[in-house]
């Protein structure tokens, strides 16, 4: 029962963080949402910071699960870019679509993304997390993946921006969608974008290699 209560606290706290921001949410707000007293809430967590750390722990676990499922190399491996370039572009497509669905359709992860979006301008820690999860981190990761297809680091980053930029934009389009059909269309748009990107990258590689 205690574990269930702790889980409910994390879920509802994140829901509030995504609506009002982390700074704009108090322990009183969380207790009120859960219909419990603040004293009862403090029996489970010492404060917002501990709740937030549990949310980060959950996000790290979800990242590890997806990386394992799609056989993604770990960021701690200096050779991961070279290893990943040996996989088919279809693997990149499947992983990227899974990432997009993770950040949009999974309730927990979607609320985490929205919280970071709200708080990035108010808190340096949140800004760093936003960059790591949603902006510079994914772009740099893709740049390392594409390094073997590029002549320079700058060219690899340009490929990464061309690949990830539309995906980043589609997060906002998904959030603004009013119907299920509109939301589905963003996923289809991402799939089409990746297909076209792969065609251009293959054509570029064939031109470099020559007949």
Reply yes or no on whether the pLDDT at 157 is more than 70.
yes
Residues 196 and 132 in one domain: yes
Q: Are residues 158 and 114 in the same domain?
A: yes
Q: Are 52 and 22 in contact (CB under 8 A)?
A: yes
Provide the 10 A C-beta neighbour count for residue 194. 21
Structure tokens at 151: 């002549």
Structural domain harbouring 12: 1-55
Residue 82 lies in a domain: yes
Asked whether residue 40 is domain-assigned, the answer is yes
183 and 89 fall within a common domain: yes
Do 30 and 112 fall within a single domain? Answer: no
133, 200: one domain: yes
Last residue of a domain, one of 11, 31, 55: 55
pTM of the complete model = 0.86
Higher pLDDT, 99 or 2: 99
Task: Return the axis-axis angle of helices 89-104 and 153-176, rounded to nearest 10°.
Answer: 40
The pLDDT of residue 129: 98
CATH label of the domain that carries residue 51: 1.10.10.60
Quick one: 93 and 188 in the same domain? yes
Looking at the 3D structure of the chain, how many domains does it have? 2
Question: Greater confidence, 186 or 74?
Answer: 186
pLDDT computed for residue 192 by the predictor: 97
Cβ-proximal residues to 41 (8 Å cutoff; 6+ apart), any chain: 9, 27, 30, 31, 34
Give the pLDDT score at 134.
Answer: 97
pLDDT score of 76: 45
Using the predicted structure, report yes or no on whether residue 206 has a pLDDT greater than 90. Answer: no
Crossing angle of helices 48-69 and 89-104, in 10° steps, is: 150
Same domain assignment for residues 112 and 192: yes
Q: From CA 152, how far away is CA 146, in angstroms rounded?
A: 10
Q: Find which of 60-64, 72-76, 108-112, 141-145 is predicted with most confidence, using mean pLDDT.
A: 108-112
**Predicted pLDDT at 203:** 76
Please check whether residue 63 lies inside any domain of the structure. Answer: no
CA distance 24 to 4: 25
Domain membership of residue 17 (yes or no) is yes
Tokens of residue 96, six digits:
């990227």
Burial of 68 (0-12, 13-18, 19+ CB in 10 A): exposed
Span 133-137, mean pLDDT? 97
Examine residue 60 and state whether it is found in any structural domain, yes or no: no
Question: Is there a domain that residue 65 lies in?
Answer: no
> Are 79 and 165 contained in the same domain?
yes
Q: Which two tokens stand for residue 119?
A: 């708080």
């Amino acid at each position: 029962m205690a574990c269930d209560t702790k889980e409910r606290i994390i879920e509802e706290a994140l829901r509030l963080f995504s609506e009002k921001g982390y700074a704009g949410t108090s322990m009183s707000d969380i207790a009120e949402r859960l219909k419990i007293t603040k004293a009862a809430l403090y029996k489970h967590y010492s404060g917002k910071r501990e709740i937030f750390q549990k949310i980060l722990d959950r996000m790290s676990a979800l990242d590890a699960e997806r990386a394992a499922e799609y056989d993604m190399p770990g960021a701690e491996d200096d050779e991961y870019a070279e290893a990943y370039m040996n996989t088919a572009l279809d693997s990149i497509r499947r992983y990227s679509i899974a990432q997009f669905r993770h950040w949009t359709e999974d309730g927990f992860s979607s609320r985490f993304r929205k919280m970071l979006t709200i708080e990035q301008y108010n808190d340096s820690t949140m800004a760093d997390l936003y960059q790591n999860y949603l902006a510079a981190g994914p772009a740099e990761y893709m740049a390392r993946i594409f390094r073997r297809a590029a002549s320079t680091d700058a060219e690899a980053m340009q490929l990464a921006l061309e690949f990830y930029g539309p995906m980043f934009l589609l997060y906002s389009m998904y959030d603004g969608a009013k119907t299920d059909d509109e939301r589905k269309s963003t996923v289809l748009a991402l799939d089409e974008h990746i297909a076209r990107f792969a065609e251009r990258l293959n054509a570029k590689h064939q031109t470099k290699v020559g007949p």
